[in-house]
Amino acid sequence: MKNSVIVMDRFQTILLLTLLSWPKLESFGQDTTVSDQIAEIGPLSGDILILRGQSKKVEKLTHGIKVTPQDRVGTVGGSPGRISIDGGCMVTLKGVTATEGEGLSIDRVGKLLTVRLHHGRLLVETYSVDLAVETPHGHVGGKSVYFLAEVGRESTRIVAIDGELKVSNDLGSLDLGNGETVALRRGAEPAKAPPSDPDKDVAGVAALEEPFNLIKNPGFELDLKEWSAPRFANKAFATIDDTMAHGGRKSVRILLPNSSLGPPALPADASGNGDVALCMVPDSKVLKPGARYLLRLWIRTENFSIDGKAIPFSFLSKGLVLPDQPPGDGVSRCTCPLAEKKWTCARFVVVARPKNEKEPFGMSFPDAPPDRGVLSGTVWLDDFFLTPFPSKPEDFQLRESAVPLPAAPLDLLAMVKPQQDRVKGEWTISKDGLACAPATFARLQLPYQPPEEYDFTLVVERIGSDFALVVGLVLAGEARCQVLFDWDGISGVDMIEGKNAKSNETTHVGPVLNLGSPVTLLFSVRREGISVAADGKQLFSWKGLLNKLSFNEDYAISNPKALMVGWHSGGFRIKKIEIVPLSGSGRKLR
């Protein structure tokens, strides 16, 4: 027995010395910390997958969910995707797959959120969150930071975009500031190096974020398209500058006149604007009242001052207000950091709070009412970015608990009154279902406004051989979506980014509705997109920014937030129309 104890002591000593001699990163793939909180992630854009560490099953992420350090997060085929973590961190992924030994793992111990990446590309943005990113080659930490991490097999490259980072491995550590780059390799100290191609880095970041940006022409590459530059005495203070840009080839330059803006120093322009040099109105269709958004821009100034005093530049944001704004206020003053002779990132978390429907949102530059004094100097603005900000964790919990408890199905066919609901065509209803005589662009508005998320079911039988069935849906309570079936043998969403059902990513080739055979069509409508199935088999799905959808006005109805059925020259009989609300509130229209 005594000899056994001696042998065990020697074994433990050798094992301990061996473990102490290993570099910490040799055990990178093993999660050795003990989580006292389970992190929650939510999908923002893209097809997000999660490989469960315990079951080894891959799940598609459709709503907020808790993850363990053993789970692996990625996207379909490593395509671009965007997730939120615990409501204060956004991560854009590319080249990251949800596979064992790869993917993204997430852990939280106390206030520290740790993200582990084995291979791929991350764009990370946090707000008041203690964050660590671990790779096989080193460790990156910071709070309220914005940076790019590229992890290869041999090295990791970190590009600090905004905020202060601490970068380290077993051989040393260093601090990284805005615009600085570091390479991490096994067996070497972290070392700063000039970016091999700064323009390429900026372009790469912009390309990663472009699918998620709600602002059109954010970098002024299309000059002032989507923007407005009021003119004073036939002169605009805001003009395009192709000699100074943060990213791309252009920026907008505001040359201030060394006077106050507006009467009496300057007369108002023809539209009545008298205190603004540049303004922009985001598309209100893609902004949801009450939702949080991230607003980011890049600014550079030279000799900017008010009454001779150098101060930070500020602008007014209408309808997108700072979270601490009193409930009744619909306008915020957003103050940028000092940016004298250097491009500087300005970031704001805002809440969509439109004051009225006629003019719900807008941004005006600068914030310069006449009583603010004499403005002088030059300001450049570039690379605007507006995107949904992560919901708070409690929002995820509410959404997750609501999903398994759908309401009872609502029979919409029983509510239809053909003579009242018809828009075009001779519609009738009988024990066999709802039908319409052949007509071009025949359509009927269903007397129901759907909630944000729902399952919509039609049982349809083709009784004529001509042309297409058309179904009009509403996404997130706002965006109209039109789905076609059997249009010259093609089915799909019509239209996405101006492309019809024959030429976008939802194109399904082959007949769906056969003569004389009833088919059950299921439309699963969620905040982020739509999935369509026929007799239990998925035909196509789509997820993305809702402003990419457009609607064929040949099938217009009086209430754009109502559901619609129709067809073009064909003959169908609809035997069942049913909806199951999942989240939000639907409304009967009579």
Phi, psi of 433 (to 5 degrees): 125, -170
CA 275 from centroid of its chain's CA atoms: 33
pTM of the model: 0.55
pLDDT of residue 263: 54
Which option is the CATH number for 26-35+42-200: 3.90.550.10, 2.60.120.1440, 2.60.40.10, 3.10.180.10? Answer: 2.60.120.1440
Query: Can you tell me the distance from the alpha carbon of 346 to that of 305, in angstroms, rounded to the nearest whole number?
Result: 18
pLDDT of residue 308: 86
Query: Can you tell me the distance from the alpha carbon of 563 to that of 445, in angstroms, rounded to the nearest whole number?
Result: 6
Domain coordinates of the chain in residue numbers? 26-35+42-200, 227-388, 407-588
What CATH architecture does domain 227-388 belong to? Sandwich (2.60)
Query: Beta-carbon neighbour count of residue 410 at 10 Å?
Result: 17
Contacts of 169 (CB under 8 A, 6+ apart): 25, 137, 138, 139, 184, 186, 189, 190
pLDDT of residue 267: 47
DSSP string, 46-72: S-EEEE-TTT--EEE--S-EEE-TT-E
Residues in the chain, pLDDT under 50: 1-36, 264-273, 392-406
Contacts of 133 (CB under 8 A, 6+ apart): 114, 115, 116, 117, 122, 124, 139, 140, 141, 149
**Taking the CA of residue 560 as centre, how many other CA atoms within 13 Å lie in the half-sphere pointing to its CB?**
13
Give which of 473, 493, 482, 419 is closest to 586, Cα–Cα. Answer: 473
3-state secondary structure of 82: strand
Give which of 504, 472, 511 is closest to 490, Cα–Cα. Answer: 511
Q: Which CATH superfamily is domain 407-588 in?
A: Exo-inulinase; domain 1 (2.60.120.560)
| Beta-bridge mates of residue 143 | 130
pLDDT of residue 232: 65
- 26-35+42-200 shares its CATH topology with 407-588: yes
Phi, psi of 274 (to 5 degrees): -135, 0
Over the stretch 464-511, which tens digit does the pLDDT of each residue have? 776 789 999 998 777 888 999 998 889 999 889 889 989 999 999 999
Contacts of 141 (CB under 8 A, 6+ apart): 130, 131, 132, 133, 165, 166, 167, 168
